[in-house]
Structure 1
Amino acid sequence: MAMDIGTEQRHAARRVRHETRRRLLTVKAIEDVTPRMRRITFSADTMEGFESLAPDDHIKLFFAAPEGPQMRDFTPRRFDREAGTLVIDFALHEAGPATSFAAGARIGDPLEIGGPRGSAVVADDFDWYWLIGDETALPAIGRWLEEARPGLPILTAIAIADASERQAIETKADWTTLWSLRSEAGTDDAAAFIALLAGQPLPPGDGFIFIAAETNVARAVRRYLTEERGHLESWMKAAGYWKRGEADAHERIED
């Protein structure tokens, strides 16, 4: 795919650093979006200075544990600075401090957060976007869809446990959604994603692809899209939001 200097400038991403500070939040509302996804709205005395400019930003959540405080990365699903509220979606999966907190959360419970430290803002001038991920990527994908400009072509490919985990998301984008159900496709998310995408031609024009899943899955899908489908690496972002067998693993995938 040819790319001239003007195209590079038009689609340039930007990195924005934020002043980091810790904030003490309080559980304000609890909603089960699906059987395995719990949405918690937090309130704070003030959200002044809180910035989150990209759908895949991350903040640190601090959980109390017998062995000492535990930190986990989460995506700000939605926030309202004036109202002083922040929404975080928790995937209820294997046992851990975040799942334990979300599963047992009660109105009024406190939670400390920090960040985001910065935002990597993807240009909003691509002709189309593909958003690919598992449950851990759904908060970022959902926010991306909600904030998308009207009529923007977006395709999502999302791996979930079963049909009960499908989410309804309000968007003004021209949204095509593909769901891979592990109850039917098996547990190999990489193979499932590739099978879903194999039947989808790359749309005309310039497109950006976002991938977030288990580290090895994200790496395999990225390799498929660059090596077999020919998509530009510079118009793609892949991240391992978790790594099998490791706690609190998050990494940008470059190779």
Structure 2
Amino acid sequence: MYGEVISTTHLSSHLVRVVLGGPGLEGFVSSGFADEYVNCFFLPATAPYSAPFQEEDIRGLPREQRPFPRRITVRSWDSARGELALDIAAHGDVGHAGRWATQARPGDRLQLRGPAGGYRPHPEADSYLLVGDESALPAIAACAEAVPVGRHVVAVVEVEDAAGEVPLTSPGALQVRWVHRAAHDTDPDELLADAVRALPRPVGTVSAFVHGEAGATRAVRRALLSARIVTEENLSCSPYWRRGLDDEQWRAVKADWLRSIAAETVSH
């Protein structure tokens, strides 16, 4: 499956929306998850092929010529128009996905597989807590739009500064707390956790979505579980990347990191 770029829009200093369309998206069916994503295949400059391609045809190529797979959040799918909007975090020339998004032009093609996902706001929760950085901001925006009407929802989002903020909407009673990295010199792993600890304690059952940088999500997870704000059953916690590692280095150690988190016992 592949899409052709229809348009690109810079939503903030570090977020680009790419809208895909075309006949290559025929058969795309939404998974129904709020944090829906697709596996995208970004081609290196030396690739002797273009999308669409057969994956089995490129497995024998040198590593530097094979595509770089990345999970990208589906911001929206318009089945009537056949248009897929992807919001991609971009930090200059760093990262295959962000670099592609900032350079994409109408007619460019992007191969993808999916969609899939894992989180829906629990319909019976009393309130919702959505936490993450720029990499999780598209999913946080989609989750905020998926909560039941009138329910309390708090989003705590880390960005570099005010230029990284984007409007968030929700049918629920939404409060947004922006955390600016540029304004703090504290431990970056604890920045989001400190902001979460400073929130008024919610009442009732909380459904929480905590995604983004690995050290930060781990710290938030510990803060929520140790304070018994949320149960593990109602907590979706996923690390997208790790500070100090590039995409390939993180992919190499991510499985071990996830196992260590699963085995971690948070004292109450």
With the length of structure 2 as denominator, give the TM-score of the two structures: 0.80
> More helix by proportion, 1 or 2?
2
Counterpart-to-counterpart distance in 2, 1:120 and 1:44: 28
Counterpart-to-counterpart distance in 2, 1:138 and 1:226: 22
**How far does residue 207 in structure 1 lie from its aligned partner after superposition?**
0.8
| Equivalent of residue 61 in structure 1, options 30, 40, 52 | 40
| Equivalent of residue 31 in structure 2, options 49, 52, 55 | 52
Contact 2:136 2:212 in 1 (8 A): yes
Contact 1:48 1:81 in 2 (8 A): no
Could you say which residue in structure 1 is the equivalent of 2:52?
Answer: none
Could you say which residue in structure 1 is the equivalent of 2:205?
Answer: 206
Instruction: Give the secondary-structure state (helix, strand or coil) at the position aligned to 1:137.
Output: helix
Could you say which residue in structure 1 is the equivalent of 2:50?
Answer: none
The AA in structure 2 aligned to 1:222 is R
Would the alpha carbon gap of residues 179 and 211 (structure 1) be closer, same or farther in structure 2, given more than 3 Å must change? same
Could you say which residue in structure 2 is the equivalent of 1:15?
Answer: none
Contact 1:52 1:119 in 2 (8 A): no
Counterpart-to-counterpart distance in 1, 2:241 and 2:88: 14
Instruction: Give the secondary-structure state (helix, strand or coil) at the position aligned to 1:220.
Output: helix
Counterpart-to-counterpart distance in 2, 1:204 and 1:78: 31
Counterpart-to-counterpart distance in 2, 1:53 and 1:47: 17
**How far does residue 64 in structure 1 lie from its aligned partner after superposition?**
1.1
Counterpart-to-counterpart distance in 1, 2:68 and 2:79: 26
**How far does residue 147 in structure 1 lie from its aligned partner after superposition?**
2.7
Structure 1 residues without counterparts, runs of 5 or longer: 1-22
Could you say which residue in structure 2 is the equivalent of 1:111?
Answer: 110
Instruction: Give the secondary-structure state (helix, strand or coil) at the position aligned to 1:138.
Output: helix
Counterpart-to-counterpart distance in 2, 1:61 and 1:169: 25
Instruction: Give the secondary-structure state (helix, strand or coil) at the position aligned to 2:225.
Output: helix
Could you say which residue in structure 2 is the equivalent of 1:42?
Answer: 20
Could you say which residue in structure 2 is the equivalent of 1:29?
Answer: 7
Could you say which residue in structure 1 is the equivalent of 2:77?
Answer: 79
Contact 2:14 2:90 in 1 (8 A): yes
**How far does residue 201 in structure 1 lie from its aligned partner after superposition?**
2.6
Would the alpha carbon gap of residues 226 and 119 (structure 1) be closer, same or farther in structure 2, given more than 3 Å must change? closer
Instruction: Give the secondary-structure state (helix, strand or coil) at the position aligned to 2:74.
Output: coil
With the length of structure 1 as denominator, give the TM-score of the two structures: 0.84
Counterpart-to-counterpart distance in 2, 1:31 and 1:49: 23
- 1:24-71 superposed Cα distances (whole Å, 9 cap, x missing partner): 100011111112111111113244342221122321101111312111
The AA in structure 2 aligned to 1:42 is L
Could you say which residue in structure 2 is the equivalent of 1:6?
Answer: none
Counterpart-to-counterpart distance in 1, 2:180 and 2:86: 24
- Name whichever of 146-155 and 135-144 sits farther off: 146-155
Could you say which residue in structure 1 is the equivalent of 2:247?
Answer: 247
**How far does residue 187 in structure 1 lie from its aligned partner after superposition?**
6.7
Structure 2 residues without counterparts, runs of 5 or longer: 47-63
1:125-204 aligned within 5 A? 125-186=124-185, 188-204=187-203
**How far does residue 117 in structure 1 lie from its aligned partner after superposition?**
4.3
Could you say which residue in structure 2 is the equivalent of 1:101?
Answer: 100
Contact 2:5 2:104 in 1 (8 A): yes
Does 2:233 align with 1:238? Answer: no
Counterpart-to-counterpart distance in 2, 1:188 and 1:90: 26
Would the alpha carbon gap of residues 130 and 230 (structure 1) be closer, same or farther in structure 2, given more than 3 Å must change? closer
**How far does residue 230 in structure 1 lie from its aligned partner after superposition?**
4.8
The AA in structure 1 aligned to 2:72 is F
Counterpart-to-counterpart distance in 2, 1:123 and 1:230: 15
> More strand by proportion, 1 or 2?
1
Could you say which residue in structure 2 is the equivalent of 1:4?
Answer: none
